[in-house]
Amino acid sequence: MAVYRSRHSQPGPLTPDRVLGVALPRTPLGRRGYRVDEVDALLYRLVHELRDRSRQLDLTRAENHRIKEALRTWQARQAEERSQARQAG
C-alpha cells in the first residue's frame, strides 16, 4: 500500500503548527469540492489532538528519563554495597 503524497505536502514530521499552516487549494467556481469551514474544523481538531499527543509524549519521555536515572543510581549503590561487603568479608 502506497502512502499518499500531495504535491502541497511539506517534508518532515507533522506538527500542530504545520497543520495550522496548511492552505489547501480551492476548486474553481462551479466545480465540486469540500466545504472550507468543515476542512478548517477538521484541521483545528487535528491540531488539538497533535498538541495533546505531543504533550503526552514529552511527559512520557521525561518520566522514562527519570526512571532510567533512578535505576542507574540504584544499580551504582548496589554495586558499591557489594564491593564493600566483599572487602569486609
Residue 84 maps to a domain:
yes
User: What's the pLDDT at 42?
Assistant: 87
User: What's the pLDDT at 58?
Assistant: 96
Residue range 69-86: mean pLDDT, rounded? 96
Total of domains in the chain: 1
Residue 74 maps to a domain:
yes
User: What's the pLDDT at 52?
Assistant: 92
Structural domain boundaries enclosing 59? 35-88
CA-to-CA dists, residue 78 to 45, 54, 64, 70, 88, angstroms = 49, 36, 21, 12, 15
Residue 70 maps to a domain:
yes
The three cell numbers of residue 57 are 509524549
Q: CA-to-CA distance for 46 and 52, rounded, in angstroms? A: 10
Residues 21-73: tens digit of each pLDDT: 877 777 777 777 778 888 888 888 889 999 999 999 999 999 999 999 999 99
Residue 7 maps to a domain:
no
Residue 17 maps to a domain:
no
User: What's the pLDDT at 5?
Assistant: 54
Residue range 72-80: mean pLDDT, rounded? 97
Q: CA-to-CA distance for 65 and 76, rounded, in angstroms? A: 17
